[in-house]
Amino acid sequence: MNPVDRLILGLDAALRTVAGVHEAARPSPGESVPEAELAEGQRAHAAALMRVNHVGEVCAQALYQGQALTVRSESNREALERAAREEQDHLAWSAERIEELGGRPSLLNPLWYGGAFVLGAAAGALGDRWNLAFLAETERQVEEHLTGHLERLCAEDAKTRAVVEGMRLDEAKHRQSAMALGAAEMPEPLKLAMRAMAKVMTTVAYRF
């Protein structure tokens, strides 16, 4: 694929992500789980947590797109594209779950997408080892974050929990594959900076 085709595909993906057009290749892990009786507050809380997760997945789309544009090695590109396809499932699953819970996606999605795209492209420009390092660390933090959500979701809400758990398993796989491809280890200050940014993003996205 030549760079212009790649750019057009990238723009298409950006518009779809921000416009909320998602297609999952795999059924949602929550699909066959029955809906629990939830109190109004619990439902709103679950919808807000899923909005945060959906923003995370919007950012994942942007990161992977940004990185795919700059990655050097063809085999690394294929691994990135494979993970990006699974992230598309996450995007669709979380959007679907928000809707089922009566919530709405973040109003700031175009902003989140733009920011994450720039970060992904910047990491990509530093070379594949750092590109993969950034990816591995992102996936690790997302995995931890989803574990935190499993603690914060009410125990009866098995349907939301199944979606979060399904995503968490994939993120662990993405981290392992980035490491297997030769990711460098991120310096501690950068990890902390990523955590701080994620904190701002998750706090804002819980409300807006």
* Among positions 87, 96, 128, 143, the unique one binding Fe ion when judged by CB under 5 A: 87
Interaction of residue 100 with Fe ion, rule CB under 5 A: no
Query: Can residue 89 be called a binding residue for Fe ion (CB under 5 A)?
Result: no
Note whether 45 binds Fe ion by CB under 5 A. no
Minimum distance, C-beta of residue 170 to Fe ion, in the bound complex (Å): 6
Residues with Cβ within 8 Å of residue 166, at least 6 apart in sequence: 28, 29, 30, 93
Residue 22 as a binder of Fe ion (CB under 5 A): the answer is: no
Q: Are 48 and 92 in contact (CB under 8 A)?
A: no
97 binding Fe ion? (CB under 5 A): no
Task: Say which DSSP state 73 is in.
Answer: -
Please give the structure tokens belonging to residue 55.
Answer: 């923003």
Nearer to Fe ion, 60 or 69 (CB): 60
- The radius of gyration of the chain from alpha carbons, rounded to an integer in Å, stands at 16
And the tokens for 13? 């993906």
Phi, psi of 163, rounded to the nearest 5 degrees: -65, -50
Q: Is position 140 an interface residue for Fe ion (rule: CB under 5 A)?
A: no
Closer to Fe ion at the Cβ: 137 or 139?
139
- Chosen residue from 45, 54, 77, 90 binding Fe ion by CB under 5 A: 90
- Applying CB under 5 A, the residues found at the interface with Fe ion are 60, 87, 90, 139, 171, 174
